[in-house]
Chains A and B, each alone.
Chain A
Amino acid sequence: MGWGDPDRIFYRLCWGLSLGMVFLVIGIGITLFWGSLPSLKAFGWHFLVGRIWDPVNEKFGALPFLVGTLITSFGALILTLPFALSSGIFLAEYAPPRVADGLSTVIDLLAGIPSVIYGLWALFYLVPLVRWVEMKLGVIPFGLGLPTASLVLAVMILPYAASIIREVLRMVPHELKEAAYGLGATRWEVIRGVSIPYGLSGIVAGLLLSLGRALGETMAVTMVIGNRSEMPRSPWDLANTMASVIANEFTEASKDIHLSALIEIGLLLFLITLGVNILARIIILRLQVR
C-alpha cells in the first residue's frame, strides 16, 4: 500500500478534487463578501428592507428584487408542481416502457434548450397570452411582469422536477408494490399509499433543486419581467429579480458604491441558494427517519 498503488492514488485524487469544490464555494462566498463590504458598511441592515434603488442619489435597498425573485421562483414551483408530479407518475407507473423511454428523452431535451430561447418564446407567445388574460381580468395589460416570468420559469424547471420524480418513483422496490397489489389494492391506491410516501423525500428534494435553478435564472426572466425596480403592488405588476438587476446594471456601474451594492445582491442570492439547499438536506433527513 505505497504511493504507487492505483487505488490509493485514485482515492487521494478524488479527495483532493472534492475538497477543491468545497474551497471554490467558500472562495466565491469570500469574494462576494469582500466586494460588498463598502455597501455593507454604508447601508447595513437597511439594504435588506430598503425599497428604494436609486443609482443617481446613491440610495440602495434590495427588498424589491428580493421579493421579485421569491415570488417568481415560488410561483414557478407551484405552477410546475402538478405537471411535474403527474408526468413523473405517468412515466414511472402507467406508460409502457417504450413510450416512457421516448417521452423521458423529450422531457430531458427541454432541459437542454438555452434560456435565451425560452425568453424569446415567452416574449412572442406568452406575453400576448398573458396580456389577453389581463384584459379579461381588467388589470393593466402589460403582458409582462410577475405572471409571465413565473410561467416561463415553470416551463424551464419542469424537466428537472419531472425527471427527478420519475427516477425516485422507479426506485420504489417492487416487493412493496407487489405486496400491496396482493392485498387487493388498485393501481391508484398503490401510487397513493406506497410509491409517493416511499419517495417523498426524493420528490421534495427534487423540487427544491428545481427551485434553486429558478432563483438564479437570469436571461429569460430579464426579457419578460419588465425590469421595474420598485416594490410590486399586485401579482400582475412589473417587477425585477436579483439576478436580472445584476445582469442589467453591472457592466456600466461606474460608481464604486453602485458596483458594491450589486455585488451585495450577488451575495444575497448566493446565501439564499445555499439556504434552499440546506433546507432540502434537512427535509431529506427528517423524512428518511420516518
Chain B
Amino acid sequence: MTKRNGEKGAGLKGAVFCAYAFVLFDACAGHQQSAVDPAGPQSGKIAVLWWFFFGLLTTIFLIVMVFTLLTLTRRGHRSGQEPLNASHLPPGADEKELTRIVAAATIATVLILFVLLIASVSTGKSISELGDKKNGMVIEVTGNQWWWHVRYWNDDPSQMLVTANEIHIPTGRPVMIRGMSQDVIHSFWVPNLHGKRDLIPSRVTTEWIEADQPGIYRGQCAEYCGLQHAHMALWVIAEPQAKFDSWMKHQLRPASPPGGPTGERGKQIFLNSACIYCHSIRGTAAGGQTGPDLTHFGSRRSIAAGTLPNTIGNLGGWITDPQGIKPGTHMATIPVSSEDLQPLLEYIEGLK
C-alpha cells in the first residue's frame, strides 16, 4: 500500500514536473538546441547547477513578493491616510524589531550568496577537470562570416580531415574544440553539450565537449557577427566509436568520382567555373580555401551553415541566387546556364 502510494506519488510528481517543464521549457519535447536538455557531462553539470539556482532563487523571489504584498494588508492603503503620528516614526520598539529582521535578512542574503558562489565555483572546477589531454580528440573550429571551418587534428598530416558546418564526434570521448576566427568574433555554442566559447581573431580559445549518447545536437553562433549572424548554425553528430571511425575513414578519402555521364559533365562545369576559386574538392583540381570544403558535401545535412536543408532543389536555389537566400553572404553569384545547372547539382550532391 505504502509502496503503491509512493509509486503513485512519484508518477504524479513526474507528471507535474513534466507538465511544468513542458509549459516553461518544452523540455519533454526533447529539444534540439536547449540548455536544459543536457546530453553530455559538461551540460549535465551545468543543468544540475541551473535547477539548484532556479529552485533557490524562485523561493527567494516568492518570499520577497509575499512580504511586499503583505505590507498592503497591514494598515490598509486608503488614499487619505494620515501619518502614523506627528513625528512620522513608529514607536522605538517596533523600529528595533525591524532592525533585527532586516539585519537577519541581510545576513541570510550573504549566506545564500556564499552557498551559490561555492556551488558555482565548484561546478566550474569540476567541469574544467572533464578534459582529457591524453585521450581527447582535438578539433579545430574556425569561425568565418557565416560558416564554420572544421579541421580534425592528427599527428599525421595526411589524416587531418577538413570539413565544414558539421562535427562528428565519438560518444563518451572528450573532444577539445580549439576555437579560432578568420574575421570577426564568433561564438561556438552547442547548448545540449556545453556553454559557449568565443572564437576571437588572433587568439585561440579552447573548450572540452563530450556527448554521452548518440544524437544530433544543433548549435549556432552566439556572438553577433554581422548580416547573417542568424544563419550560422552547425551540428554536432555524436555516434558510437565504430560508426565514427568509419565516417572518418570515408571522409578522409578524396571525392568519389561521379557516377554517370551527367555527373561527369557536372564535374567539368564545376572545374571550369569560378567555384574553384573558393571551394576545394579533394581529388580534383578545385583547391580554393576561402569557402567550405565540398569534398563530401552530399553527406552533410544542410546548405550554407544551416540556412537550408541539403536537397538538390535547395542547392539549385542557393547556387542561382545566394543573395536572395542569405542576403550578404560572401558566396558569389556564379552565372550557370539552365542546361548546366542540373548536371552541376547532380555532381555536387553526388559527393557523398
A and B pair up: no
Where the two chains meet, the residues of A that have a C-beta atom closer than 8 Å to any C-beta of B are: none
Which residues in B have some Cβ–Cβ distance to A below 8 Å?
none
